[in-house]
Amino acid sequence: MSRLPIIAGNWKMNNTVKETKALLTELLPLVKDAACEIVICVPYTSIAAAKKLMRGTNVKLGAENVHWAEKGAFTGEISADMLKELKVAYVIIGHSERRQYFGETDETVNKRVKAALSRKLKPIICVGETLAERESGRTDEVVIGQTKGAFDGIAKRELKNIVIAYEPVWAIGTGRTATADDADNTIAVIRKAVKKLYGSAAAEDIRIQYGGSMNAKNADELMAKPNIDGGLIGGASLKAVDFAKIVSAAK
Ligand code: PEP
Please, which residues have CB within 8 angstroms of residue 82's CB and are 6 or more apart in sequence?
none
pTM to 2 decimal places = 0.97
Best mutation site among 93, 167, 246 for ligand 1 pocket (most ligand atoms within 8 Å of CB): 167
Q: Residues 121, 89: contact at Cβ < 8 Å?
A: yes
One of 64, 104, 129, 167 is an active-site residue; which one?
Answer: 167
Helix (H) or strand (E) holding 92: strand 90-93
Residue nearest to atom 4 of ligand 1 (CA): 234
CA of 219 to the centre of ligand 1 (A): 13
Catalytic-residue membership of 167: yes
Distance from Cα 96 to the centre of ligand 1, integer Å: 10
The CATH code belonging to domain 6-249 is 3.20.20.70
Alpha helices in the chain (DSSP H): 17-30, 47-54, 80-85, 96-101, 106-118, 131-135, 139-151, 180-198, 200-205, 219-223, 240-249
| Crossing angle (nearest 10°) for helices 139-151 and 180-198 | 40
Quick one: which atom of ligand 1 is closest to the CA of 237? 8
Q: What is the pLDDT of residue 2?
A: 83
Looking from the CA of 46 toward its CB, the CA atoms found within 13 Å total 26
> Which residues is 209 bridged to in the sheet?
165
Q: Is 167 in the pocket of ligand 1 (CB under 6 A)?
A: yes
CA 158 – ligand 1 centroid, Å? 26
Quick one: pLDDT at residue 192? 98
Ligand 1 atom nearest to CA at 174: 10
What's the pLDDT at 251?
A: 83
- The confidence score (pLDDT) of residue 1 equals 55
Q: Is 173 in the pocket of ligand 1 (CB under 6 A)?
A: yes
Is residue 231 helix, strand or coil? strand
Provide the residue ranges of all domains of the chain, joining segments of one domain with +: 6-249
CB of 235 closer than 6 angstroms to any ligand 1 atom:
yes
Q: Is the CB of 100 under 6 A from ligand 1?
A: no
Q: Ligand 1 pocket, 212 CB below 6 A?
A: yes
pLDDT at 177: 86
Q: Is 141 a known active-site residue?
A: no
Angle 139-151/106-118 helices, nearest 10 degrees? Answer: 40
Q: How far apart are CA 54 and CA 61, in angstroms?
A: 8
**Average pLDDT per 10 consecutive residues for the chain, totaling 251 residues:** 92 98 98 98 98 98 98 98 98 97 97 98 98 96 98 97 97 90 97 98 97 96 96 98 97 83
Instruction: Please tell me the distance from the alpha carbon of residue 9 to that of residue 18, in angstroms, as a whole number.
Output: 18
